[in-house]
Structure 1
Amino acid sequence: MSSLASTVAAPQAVRAGPRGRRAFWLIAPALLLIGVFLVLPYLNIVLMSLRPPAVGAPYGAGFTLANYGRALTDPYLLGVLGDTLLLGLTVTPICLLLGYPVAYHLARTRSRFAGVLYVLVLSPLLVGVVVRSFGWLILLSGNGVINRLLLDLGVVETGLALMNNRFGVTLALVHVFLPFMILPLVGVIQSIDPSLEQAARSLGASRPKVFRRVVLPLSWPGIQAGTILVFVLALSAYVTPVMLGGAQVKTMSVLVVQNLIDNFQWPAGAAQALLLTACGVAAVALYAKLTGRFMKGLA
């Protein structure tokens, strides 16, 4: 019997071999792109972070862990890292609170203007981040549109400090990253059968209770995807903090670019970039684990 089974299995293995090779060649271009444009650059950054600094050159000879030692013990760098994480933790819930009602409306509306609403949601993505930041610069500056309007109406006697602080940076980042919260939510909410909400309503549940007990749990995968995406993007934002934060708001991305371009300290910049990456990955992993348990409890 065993010999018969092996005889039958042998042709299947022969057939599986060419099929497996064909599958490999189908994914080979994607693997090549990932290796060339993602894995190799990260390996280069890791090697750069282990190089000693040098004068008049990007790095010196040999390898050292001193760059990580300075990044992990310098109170200023740790403070900037904490401010960067706090910025991401501030922008993300604001985007969620603003984006969820919009996403729910887009997913449920039958209006003929639904296409126009989608264009309005996607409009921040149709303009470069530099142009968007300049727009907020015009609005929030000391002599900008908002301050001029408030002064002309007599609401305030002196202009408000709306930029070169965390408020201006947070406001602009929410505008920039709001579509990245709305789009995953729209897709998930559209997959929720509206008859579930109607059934809950027919059984006497109020609209808030239907949302809390039916819609919100079923849309949690979209919430998880959108919050992770916005949080990661907020941590790595550079142009908006530079233009609207000025010298008053420092993030790790700003420090990394300063070390790489202004100070010509590539090893220090690489170590700080990897430290930010490690903290971001740890935060996302912890959040995914906690929300995964929450979704299992709902199931």
Structure 2
Amino acid sequence: MSAVAAQHASPRSAWRSRLNLGLLLLPASLVGLAMVCATVTMAWISTQSEGSQPTLEHYVRFFEDGYLIQAGIRTFHLSLMVSVICVLCGYPVAWYLVYSRSSYRYVAFIIVLSPLLVSIVVRALGWTILLGNEGVINQALQALGLTKGPVALMRSYWSVVAGMVHIFLPFMVLSIASTLGAIDPSLREAAALLGATPATSFRLVTLPLSLQGIAAGSVIVFCLSTGVFLTPLWLSRGHVSVLATVLKEQVVDASDWPAGATTAVLLTVSTLGLVALYNGLIRRFGEH
């Protein structure tokens, strides 16, 4: 009897498992479906014109417009620069959070997470207070007699970089820290027993094993950076145009929805293509 009951219970439990899995995946599936529908709609709008036939004239105009090309190049250059700086600044912080035995590491962890608790608007205002003509840095420089007047620290490429690094650095630190924390400590101990110096152990053991965390953090920071709108607009005062600000000009200011959809499609496709290329390089490097 127990064997018969088990045979009837097995299909029922399997059905319940599938149902529970389906319910868990339902919210993510709905979000994914909405994103696919939005992308398809955006691509369709980008081919619309005054006539009834689909056209690619908006794509041709994009590549013929030097302002749009420069904005695209600046967008990806800015995203790459922010990603590199986040890796260089975030790796030591992640190392300290994982391997330090100091009680101050908890304070450092709170400091790392604190930018995520404040809105982007407040952070942009904070950088304005620091870098503005009447800001803290300019007042300090003038008080020390180093400058006779305010220095133009805002309205520049590097002011935008500083603001974006401040926003996205926590994502990089948390990504690298999670990977460093998963590395078996016995591997570094074995390297030390074999005569490896700390620098050699880091180069041959820790860094290769933490490469996935660097890659994941870089992808997150790069993808988020390509779509940032408020920080470049606020900290550069319109002097550093990126594709996100171009989209606002096309859709909100000019009400040119097809041109805006074209810019959005090209931004999405270019970002996905660069991420795929980067992942391929990381996998090939990891194999060696």
- TM-score (ref. length: structure 2): 0.90
Q: Deviations over 1:43-96 (max 9, x none)?
A: 22112111226xxxxxx7553211111112222211110111110111111110
Aligned to 1:280: 271
1:231 aligns with 2:228: no
Aligned to 1:31: 29
Aligned to 1:261: 252
Alignment of 1:180-259 (within 5 A): 180-259=171-250
AA partner of residue 170 (structure 2): P
Aligned to 2:5: none
AA partner of residue 172 (structure 1): G
Task: Provide the alpha-carbon RMSD of the alignment.
Answer: 2.1
1:160 aligns with 2:157: no
Unaligned runs of at least 5 residues, structure 1: 1-10, 54-59
- Does the aligned pair in 1 maintain the 2:63–2:69 contact within 8 Å? yes
Unaligned runs of at least 5 residues, structure 2: 1-7
Inter-partner Cα distance in structure 1 for 2:98 and 2:88? 16
Distance 1:64 1:123, change over 3 A: same
Aligned to 1:8: none
Aligned to 2:95: 104
Inter-partner Cα distance in structure 2 for 1:63 and 1:205? 64
Distance 1:219 1:17, change over 3 A: closer
Q: Which moved more, 1:68-77 or 1:231-240?
A: 68-77
Inter-partner Cα distance in structure 2 for 1:244 and 1:61? 42
1:244 Cα deviation (Å)?
0.4
Inter-partner Cα distance in structure 2 for 1:295 and 1:251? 33
Identity across matched positions, percent: 40
AA partner of residue 40 (structure 1): C
Aligned to 1:44: 41
AA partner of residue 30 (structure 1): A
1:293 Cα deviation (Å)?
0.4
Q: Helix, strand or coil for the counterpart of 2:102?
A: coil
Q: Helix, strand or coil for the counterpart of 2:255?
A: coil
Aligned to 2:132: 141
1:195 Cα deviation (Å)?
2.3
Aligned to 1:77: 68
1:30 Cα deviation (Å)?
2.9
Aligned to 2:4: none
1:27 Cα deviation (Å)?
2.9
Number of matched residues? 279
1:109 Cα deviation (Å)?
2.3
Q: Helix, strand or coil for the counterpart of 1:225?
A: helix
Q: Deviations over 1:110-138 (max 9, x none)?
A: 33343322111011110000110010011
Inter-partner Cα distance in structure 1 for 2:38 and 2:104? 44
Q: Deviations over 1:151-177 (max 9, x none)?
A: 110122332221101010011111111
- TM-score (ref. length: structure 1): 0.87
Q: Deviations over 1:214-268 (max 9, x none)?
A: 1100100000001111111111110000000112110000000111111111110
Q: Which moved more, 1:44-53 or 1:74-83?
A: 44-53
